[in-house]
Every structure is written in structure tokens, then in C-alpha cells.
Amino acid sequence: MIFIDINQERVPVLGLGTFSLKGQACRTSVTDAISIGYRHIDTAKMYDNEEDVGHGIKDAAIDRDDLFVTTKIWHTDLTQSGITAGLEDSLQKLQLDYVNLTLIHWPSDDMNLKECLETLMELQQQSKTRLIGVSNFPASLVKEARAIAPVICNQVEYHPYLRQSSVLNVVREHGMMLTAYCPIAKGEVLQDQNLIDLGEKYGKSPTQITLRWLVQQENVAAIPKASSHEHRAENLDIFDFSLTDEEMNHIHSLSKNHRLINPEFAPVWDD
């Protein structure tokens, strides 16, 4: 496993995304992922599965210090009381004393960003969360957030068909990281002949080529969801090869501003 070292925390570049996983399937997925080597688990209040994730972690019987856990505060809870109560509820459901990273899940037009981030910093000082960050923030808003608080992450949709140049430039400029969700574009990479051809060269699948492309970039992590043991194992098997600079650039060239996640409350994007 490769790590991103940031603010005295080691973040595994590959994690398990748990969006849409619930019940026993979620619990089993988390336990199995940890058993085969995952050390980064991503959840959120909105996923309505934190209790299942918590049981999965407990079943894995792993040393807490060896696991990096992220959760998120939903955009309708972005007040001082909403954030505080939200994280307390998340910790209770996860059966954890702290999470490694707490994110603002989406920005809100009526949020007081300074108050939100100051609340997260207070929770950080109380050791309820080790790190704080944001998700789905355009580059301009990341700059604004970073001027207020030591946010270390922006979690956004990122895959070969969606260029995130502005966000990448900003997070790197400020020593932050980008966590990519929807990293295989909801399976679209499986049909891409460019990625199929590269996979044949390395003996890897298009999914593995895509994930390798992501984590080989500076300060980029990826959190693919995988509901089967086979896919979880496949996603993890990307650390025994490297793409050339030419191949990395070729995958970058596939971008076509193809955004898959864009709810009505989304901000105005930079790219």
C-alpha cells in the first residue's frame, strides 16, 4: 500500500467507498476489505450505513490506529449545532472514539463557511476527528476554506473522463490531497479500448489501470465501491506496476468534462 503523508497522518491512497452499501452486505464488505489489506474506509451520514460500517470494523478486530476512517456532514446540517450533533451521532454509530477525517459533504448556499470550519476545528481540538476537510468544493471555495482552517482534503468526482485541473492545482498548492469518488466512472472505463489495451500490456483490467492512474498522481487517493470480494481484491491489486509518463498523459487526454454526479444543489464548477 502507498500512503499520502499529511499533517502527521498517513492516508492509504486506496480506500473502500461504501455509498449504497447497507445492512449485512455493508458489514461483510467492510470486514472482508480490512481482512485483505484495506486500511481506509469511507462513509457518510447521508449513506445511512455508519452503523453497518461500525459493525464491519468491529468484526474485523483491527487495531484502531491501523485504520483510516472518513465520514461526512450533510449539506443540510451545516450549522454549529448540526455539525457537532452530526459528528457525535456518527461516532456513536461507528462505535469509534474518533474518526480520522471529517468532511463537509457538499457546500450550501446559505452556510456560514467560517462558522462551519471553526466548529470542525473545535471538534478536532476535542480529538473527535484527527483531520478536517471538504467535499464537492470547486477550486475557488477550496481557497476560501483553506484561508479559514487547515482543511487537508477535497473529495470530488474524478475519473479519466472528468478533468479536475483547477481543484488539483489548488489542493497541491496548499499541501492538501484530493480523494476521487466514482473513480471508474460507474463502470464506463470497462468499455474503453484505450484502457483495455493498456490492461492487456500489464495483465490488468481497465479498472486496475484507472485506479493505478489515479493513485500514481501526486496527493490523489481513490475510494472505489466494491460489493464483491473479487472486485475488492482486484481493486487492491494495483501496486505491482507503474504507468509510464506517456501512458499517464494519454489517460489524462480522455477527459471530456463528463460529470456523473451533479445534484440540483451542487455548486458552480470550475472545470
Residues designated as active site: 47
Q: How far, in Å, CA of 85 to CA of 83, rounded? A: 6
The owner of cell 470542525 is 120
DSSP line for 126-152:
TTSEEEEEEES--HHHHHHHHHHS---
Q: How far, in Å, CA of 127 to CA of 112, rounded? A: 23
Q: How far, in Å, CA of 97 to CA of 82, rounded? A: 19
Give the C-alpha distances (Å, rounded to integers) separating 175 from 78, 150, 151, 254: 25, 10, 10, 27
Cross-strand partners of 181: 157
Phi, psi of 14, deg, nearest 5 = -120, 125
3-state secondary structure of 72: strand
Sort strands 220-222 and 99-104 into parallel, antiparallel or unpaired: unpaired
Cross-strand partners of 3: 12
Nearest to 228 by CA among 32, 59, 68: 32
3-state secondary structure of 178: strand
